[in-house]
Amino acid sequence: MFPRRGEATLVDDLVERGRVVDALAALRKPAKASAQRDARLPTLAAKVESLERLFAHMDSAVWGKPKGKEGSLLVWHHAKEHIHFFKAHIVLDVPPMDLLVIVREWDLVPTWNGRNVPRAIIMDEPSLVSLRAAAELWLPSPFSNRSVAFDAEGFDVLDSHGVLAIDFATTEGAMRAMPEQLAHLEHVAFVAPSGMRIVPRSSASASAPGARATSDRCEITWTMGLDPKTLPVPSWLVDFVMSIIAPFVHKELVKVVASIKGEYAVRKQQRNTLYGPLGARCDEHVQRRLAAEPRDAAAVSMGAPSVRPRRGFFESLGFGLRPPTPHHAATA
């Protein structure tokens, strides 16, 4: 996919597209040491370790039993000291890129979820797959709205892990950059591990002769750690988030991803250097899975995740990243 223009340029291209695992592997190949090469290793390694923690937290048994309906929206909550963790799992009958454009174009969120996010601002876009953003978050009476600022980065780990991922958290840099129009609000913070895992799926069957599978479905797991700061969090507020806000957002999300139009369609075209190649990689991924495991075609299309990292791949990099556990396995 990338021209052979030297190690530095290759790694830059990989990082720009969120392929940090591949970039890390490229840097760790036997080669003449260089200061630039050595300086990149800790940063990339830290990002892979952050993903490892995120996936492990998503699949942890700490979540217990979910609320919701299997096949629709499932939500979980647990608290550790004063930090509240929320998790949601959904399946959408749309290509992963139609979901990703909703997530990436953060400042457009109020156009469909203005009730809960009255204002959303992108403060900086360091790369195609990363941004620094802020938002105003609505809260029910008697509480006042809060602000939040965070850094987010997307990762393409399709080759190694079979998923796309997003990692986000409030950072000191994001807080210092809080927009003036939100600065008067008391703030909350997103704490790690927080993020999203997107598993490309296909409705095609490996047994269909001549069929060329596309990634026309996706399975999403989302987790958020919330430090409420000065906000009291009574049990009724947690129940409100899980029973009222989460189903409302799910319903509105299903509507907006069903037909990407308006400014979302414009942004998708403008940022085609991201969505085009990444969508093609999702298609290639499901095609490889169906071709390699025809007996598991049903699982690849809609059942339990059959995504597995290459044997020994992460171990060779010094990490123990595991394949995603089916969401229902953690609830047994």
Instruction: Give the contacts of 58 (CB within 8 A, at least 6 positions apart).
Output: 87, 193, 197, 221, 223, 324
Give pLDDT tens digits for 118-159. Answer: 999 999 999 999 999 999 999 999 999 999 999 999 999 999
- Judge whether 319 and 48 are in contact, CB under 8 Å: yes
The domain locations on the chain are: 65-309
Give pLDDT tens digits for 193-251. Answer: 999 999 999 987 655 555 678 999 999 999 999 999 999 999 999 999 999 999 999 99
Nearest CA to 282 out of 174, 198, 192 is that of 198
- Judge whether 73 and 246 are in contact, CB under 8 Å: yes
pLDDT at residue 264 is higher than 70:
yes
Give pLDDT tens digits for 99-111. Answer: 999 999 999 999 9
CA distance 265 to 270: 9
- Judge whether 226 and 191 are in contact, CB under 8 Å: yes
More confident residue, 279 or 298: 279
Quote the Cα angle for 26-32-38, to 5°: 60
pLDDT at 187: 98
Distances (CA, A) of 332 to 8, 48, 326, 329: 47, 29, 11, 6
Distances (CA, A) of 265 to 199, 205, 250, 279: 22, 29, 20, 15
Instruction: Give the contacts of 280 (CB within 8 A, at least 6 positions apart).
Output: none
- Mean pLDDT of the residues in the chain: 85
Nearest CA to 84 out of 236, 226, 224, 231 is that of 226
CA distance 50 to 167: 8
CA distance 27 to 40: 8
Residues 295-311: b if buried by 16+ CB within 10 A, e if exposed: eebebbbeebbbbebee
Domain 65-309 falls in which CATH fold? Alpha-D-Glucose-1,6-Bisphosphate; Chain A, domain 4 (3.30.530)
Cis peptide before 142 (omega within 30 of 0): yes
Q: How many residues does the chain have?
A: 332
Nearest CA to 250 out of 121, 90, 97, 139 is that of 90
CA distance 199 to 239: 28
- Judge whether 125 and 131 are in contact, CB under 8 Å: yes
pLDDT at 34: 57
Split at pLDDT 50, 70, 90, the class of 53 is very high
pLDDT at residue 325 is higher than 90:
no
Q: What phi, psi does 49 have (nearest 5°)?
A: -65, -35
